[in-house]
Structure 1
Amino acid sequence: MTVLAGKHPQGSPRGSPRARRGARSPASALFWRLFLINGLVFAAGLTVLALSPATVSSPVLLTELPILAVGLAVMLGANAVLLRTSLAPLGALTALMERVDLLRSRDRIAHSGSGDLGTLIATFNAMLDRLEAERSASAAHALAAQEAERQRIARELHDEIGQSLTVVLLALKRTVDRAPHDLRAELHTVAETVRASLDEVRQVARRLRPGVLEDLGLISAMNALASDFSGSSGVPVTRLLDARLPQLSGDTELVIYRIAQESLTNIARHARASHVELSLRAEPDTEPDTVVLRVTDDGRGGPIHDGAGIRGMRERAMLIGADLTIDRAPSQGTEVRLSVPLVPAPIAERRE
């Protein structure tokens, strides 16, 4: 079960004449708009001065200076208002450039499609759409390769190293039966060491390739994941797993499982928690209907830093159109929340 990217979005070639004309048109339109605004302001000011009874002597009299100052202030004020109105979308565009993150939720600038900057904003939004699609496709290919490599390593651990350790363990058992009495204790110790190594190899193989997910389904896989976590870390896990989940695709189940697995791994490594809650429920009252995964701990919490593990979780969530948030829990510790809409993902597709 692997996650693969869909087709790359098609568009005009970067160096095509159409693309070059599209790149020049917003700047050209902005230039002419500013030129016309300034021309309109100065023409209006000139008309008002020409039709008003105010006159200007040569040299300028002191009594005429206030009239000139008021006229200049009115023209500058009108020019400032018109320019600020025309250039207001640039402020929103700058703010979006500063906060945009291709792994976060879609963030775009709303525009009416009219005005000189409408084309610029529409082009920028289209660029973000294209970058997100390309990032999703690249991440999907990388994660697909990662899953394939995990499955290969898991098979080798199970079929080669696991079988070899099993053969060694059986040989040790036969040797113990024929060994002198004074050597049996040492051979028993060696056999237990080999048995423990075999168990560790099997656990690593299960973590790399969740066979229970394919064989028994998501709920059984989540229960096994919680049991393995409690067994290795000693931290109890409260499980709130809805057995009546709606039908989910193989990709969606794999993403939910991997994000839960990474969350529990982070808790074991960093949280110093004494209790964990693992919840997976359907929320049909939302729009659209969603399945929500929550992993909450009562550990030390603290600032959330997007390391390699968290960014990998965000990339997986992006592949199925899910929303991933990592924040402080209501009481203390950290809460990981994955909200999966029950709609087909636009980018990911499954290959058996």
Structure 2
Amino acid sequence: MHPLQRLSRLPLYWQVLLINGAVFALGAVALLLSPATVSRQVLVSEAVVLVGGLALVLVVNALLLRRSLAPVDRVVREMQVVELHDGQRLTTPATGPGARLVGSYNAMLDRLEAERSASNARALAAQEAERHRIAQELHDQVGQDLTVVLLGLKQLAARAPAELVEELELLRDSARTGLDDVRRVARELRPGVLADLGLGSALAALCSDFTAHGGLPVRRTIAPGLPDLGPERELVVYRVAQEALTNAARHARGATEVTLSLARVGGNALLEVTDDGRGATAVVPGSGVRGMRERAVLVGATVSVDGGPAGTTVRLVVPLPEVAP
């Protein structure tokens, strides 16, 4: 094995120690073998030789140590700003302890991303299962109870005195409104239309419900010819659109309209939700944005949020599934 390769396998402490020892040993040998001497009163020429030798030692030492220690600073700087979802990795040097350090750092990020993705997948699966259970309870239990109340009020109104009929009708209207709200919440928790009629119809129903229940008018454009994304990708698109519309209703100041579009762009499906309100130039990711990004990562998609005085745009890019030949 080459001596430099053996040196590169040593711990960083011993490499620094050996490099410094070698540099000073070479300096000592040079002084012993050279005719240079130092007078009791140092001459200018002797001072020049000493300063030049010291400078040469420092330069050689710096060049040798730079190759070993520079990657350490790179890793430290990257650790201060790294985000697991951006997928960036450091370039690994060819040899030396820096190569092992950078390689270990990149491998650590890979493991953390894999573990985080698996954890997010389990958490989101549990969340969807809980939403399904709650939606089923709302539909089967609360919805049926309110239906029984409506039927009872109808029968009671038919036998009640005339002066009570109007009050009973008001109660029936309130119960009917409550039943509609329960059904709407159940649809939002478990979008059955997504599995029954497809993504386009589910997004259309989502926009209609959003506008009908106090939200902003939504102008939607769903391009024809979009291939089947599969249930996982379609659920991600639906949930991101749902969260983006909710954020527009909550945070878009002075907005009068929301635009939702879904189209194919190259090998990706592109969802954009844009409001015309006054948004912040620098969007601070909250739990909603983080949730959208965590969902997107599970299917290899990306989410970006661009804000400004002309409105805020949520953009989801979903890779289309590969079609078998």
Contact 1:105 1:323 (8 Å CA) reproduced? no
**Partners of 2:56 and 2:311 in 1: how far apart?**
58
For residue 203 of structure 1, report the CA deviation from its aligned partner.
0.6
Aligned partner letter, 2:236: V
Q: Take 1:223 and 1:141, find their aligned partners in 2: how far apart are those partners? A: 29
Partner of 1:295: 273
Give the drift of 1:152.
0.6
What is aligned with 1:321?
300
CA distance in structure 2 between the aligned counterparts of 1:207 and 1:51, rounded to whole angstroms: 87
* Structure 2 Cα separation of the partners of residues 133 and 337 of structure 1: 24
1:302-340 Cα deviation digits (max 9, x unpaired): 1322222222111111111111111225x6221111111
Q: CA deviation at 1:155?
A: 0.6
Kept after mapping to 2: 8 A contact 1:296/1:336? yes
CA distance in 2, matches of 1:50, 1:233: 91
Question: Counterparts of 1:228 and 1:173 in 2: how far apart (Å)?
Answer: 28
2:164 to 183, 203, 216: 183
Which amino acid is the alignment partner of residue 337 of structure 1? R
Secondary structure, in 3 states, of the residue corresponding to 1:117? helix
Could you tell me which residue of structure 1 aligns to residue 76 of structure 2? 94
Give the superposition deviation at 1:45. 3.5
Give the direction of change, closer, same or farther, for the CA distance of 1:308–1:184 in structure 2 (3 Å limit).
same
| Match of residue 260 from structure 2 | 278
Counterpart of 1:342 in structure 2 is 320
Q: CA RMSD in A?
A: 2.2
Counterpart of 1:78 (choices 52, 60, 68) is 60
- Residue matched to 1:9: none
Kindly indicate whether the alpha-carbon contact (under 8 Å) linking 1:276 and 1:297 is maintained by their aligned counterparts in 2: yes
What letter is aligned with 2:279? Answer: G
C-alpha displacement at 1:59, in angstroms? 5.5
User: After superposition, where does 1:218-233 map in structure 2 within 5 Å?
Assistant: 218-233=199-214
TM-score (ref. length: structure 1): 0.83
Determine what percentage of the aligned residue pairs are the same residue: 54
**How big is the shift at 1:216?**
0.4
Deviations 1:167-204 (A, max 9, x none): 11122122222222211111111111111111111110
Distance 2:214 2:26 in 1: 78
- Amino acid across the alignment from 1:317: A
Give unpaired runs (5+ residues) of structure 2.
1-6
Question: Using the alignment, how far apart are the partners of 2:264 and 2:126 within structure 1?
Answer: 30
Alignment of 1:1-352 (within 5 A): 28-49=10-31, 53-58=35-40, 60-102=42-84, 104-272=85-253, 273-284=255-266, 289-302=267-280, 303-328=282-307, 332-343=310-321
Q: How far apart, CA to CA, are the structure 2 residues paired with 1:156 and 1:328?
A: 38
The corresponding residue for 2:3 is: none
- Which residue number corresponds to residue 347 of structure 1? none
Give, as a single letter, the amino acid of the residue that structure 1 aligns with 2:142. I
Q: Which amino acid aligns with 2:99?
A: G
- For residue 19 of structure 2, give the secondary structure of its aligned residue in structure 1: helix
SS of residue paired to 1:90: helix
Call closer, same or farther: CA 1:26–1:68 in 2, change over 3 Å.
Answer: closer
Moved more, 132-141 or 291-300: 291-300
Q: Is the 8 A contact 2:270 2:315 kept in 1?
A: yes
Q: How far is 1:50 from its partner?
A: 5.0
Instruction: Please give the secondary structure, in 2, of the residue aligned with 1:111.
Output: coil
Q: Distance in 1 between matches of 2:33 and 2:311?
A: 73
Structure 1, unaligned runs of 5 or more: 1-24, 345-352
For 1:301 and 1:282, locate their aligned partners in 2 and report how far apart those are by CA, in whole Å.
Answer: 27
- Structure 1: distance between partners of 2:87 and 2:19: 35
Cα drift, residue 233 of structure 1: 2.9
One-letter identity of the residue aligned with 2:220? R
User: Does the Cα contact within 8 Å between 1:113 and 1:122 map onto a contact in 2?
Assistant: no
Deviation of residue 209 (structure 1)?
0.5
Letter in 1 for 2:290: R
- Structure 1 residue matching 2:73: 3-state secondary structure: helix
Q: Structure 1 pair 101/208, CA: closer, same or farther in 2 (3 Å)?
A: same
* Secondary structure of the structure 2 residue equivalent to 1:280: strand
Q: Displacement, 1:117?
A: 1.6
Query: CA separation in 2, counterparts of 1:294 and 1:89?
Result: 40
The CA distance in 2 between the partners of 1:26 and 1:296, in whole Å, is 54
